[in-house]
Amino acid sequence: MSLLRACLAILKREVRLGWGAGGGALLSASFFAGSVMVAPFALGPAPDTLGKIGPGYLWLALTLASLVSLERLFQADLEDGTLDQMLLSPVPHSLQVLSKIIGQWLATAAPLLATSPIAALLVRVEPAVILPLCGQLAVGSLGLFLIGAIGAALGASVRRGGLLVALVVLPLYAPSVIFGASAAAALAAGGDFFSQPFLFLCALVLAALAFAPVAAAAAVRLHVD
């Protein structure tokens, strides 16, 4: 099973490099934790206001935190010629890109999601809702990483292109954030985990899983010429 072996190798390498020296896997989690930490200062610590805004604020923090690691997703490989070699591999390029995205998601989103229950406590989310809410954030974060990869691929050859990538990606994030935040609001109002907005979010993530790797692979190919 050489295809599976190659994809797993890419995925594991992405995790290894992310956690290695200078990999920056914890940057997104730190950004997420930091932005949640300032929320009570900015919005006021009153439990009823904060509790109302809290679930939506977590989605905002997740969206912005997921932008942090995007810039380097393809840029490092483009600069050191790794991308050339990956194009020469017999493994389909979109599968390689998918493995890279999943690898980065595991390396950067996992610590972020691990901090999310504490973050939820900080913004006064009802304790009973915290774990289901974090589950929804986990599903949504995969969608954000997949969609973000398209922007990262487009901006891969731009020096200091992080802000450009953010500008490209944020409008594409809108549907996921809308459904994610509505699902969170439904949870906070005592609704089901599998509410209608959450099902829409799941559909979005599945669609991104199918299309984003192909689009990102095509975009990244443009820079190799």
Partner 1 sequence: MTAERHQQHDVRLQIAGVALQRGFRRLVTDFDLTCAPGDIIALQGPNGSGKTTLLRALAGFHTPASGRITLSRAQGDEIEEQGEVLSFLGHQDPIKAGEKLIDQLRFWADLCGASRDRVTEILARVGLTKQADLQGGVLSAGQRKRAALARLLLEDRAIWLLDEPASPLDQEGRALLGTLLDQHARRGGIILAAVHDPLPGVVARVLNLGTRESEVAA
Near partner 1 by CB under 8 A: residue from 17, 29, 187, 216: 17
Near partner 1 by CB under 8 A: residue from 5, 47, 159, 160: 5
Question: Residue 102 CA to chain centroid, in angstroms?
Answer: 10
Separation CA 63–CA 174 (nearest Å)? 10
Q: Indicate the residue among 13 and 52 with the shorter CB distance to partner 1.
A: 13
- Is residue 97 at the binding interface for partner 1, with CB under 8 A as the rule? no
CB-count burial class (<10 Å; 0-12, 13-18, 19+) for 214: middle
- Is residue 159 at the binding interface for partner 1, with CB under 8 A as the rule? no
- Is residue 42 at the binding interface for partner 1, with CB under 8 A as the rule? no
Near partner 1 by CB under 8 A: residue from 41, 42, 48, 225: 225
The answer to whether the beta carbons of residues 184 and 134 sit under 8 Å apart is: no
Cβ of residue 146: shortest distance to partner 1, in angstroms?
Answer: 22
Place of tokens 């984003």: 212
Cβ of residue 24: shortest distance to partner 1, in angstroms?
Answer: 10
What stretch of H or E contains 159? none
Q: Determine the 3-state secondary structure of 195 from DSSP.
A: coil
Q: How big is the site for partner 1, counted in residues (CB under 8 A)?
A: 29
Cβ of residue 136: shortest distance to partner 1, in angstroms?
Answer: 33
Q: Which span sits near partner 1 by CB under 8 A: 21-29, 43-51, 111-119, 206-214?
A: 21-29
Number of Cβ within 10 Å of residue 159's Cβ equals 7
Q: Indicate the residue among 43 and 76 with the shorter CB distance to partner 1.
A: 76
| CA distance between the termini of the chain | 31
Separation CA 148–CA 212 (nearest Å)? 9
The encoded tokens of residue 18 equal 């992310």
User: Interface mask (CB under 8 A) for partner 1, residues 58-87, using x and -?
Assistant: ------------------xx-xxxx-xxxx
Contacts of 126 (CB under 8 A, 6+ apart): 51, 188
Q: Indicate the residue among 80 and 192 with the shorter CB distance to partner 1.
A: 80
Q: Which residues bind partner 1 (CB under 8 A)?
A: 2, 5-6, 8-10, 13, 16-17, 20-23, 76-77, 79-82, 84-91, 224-225
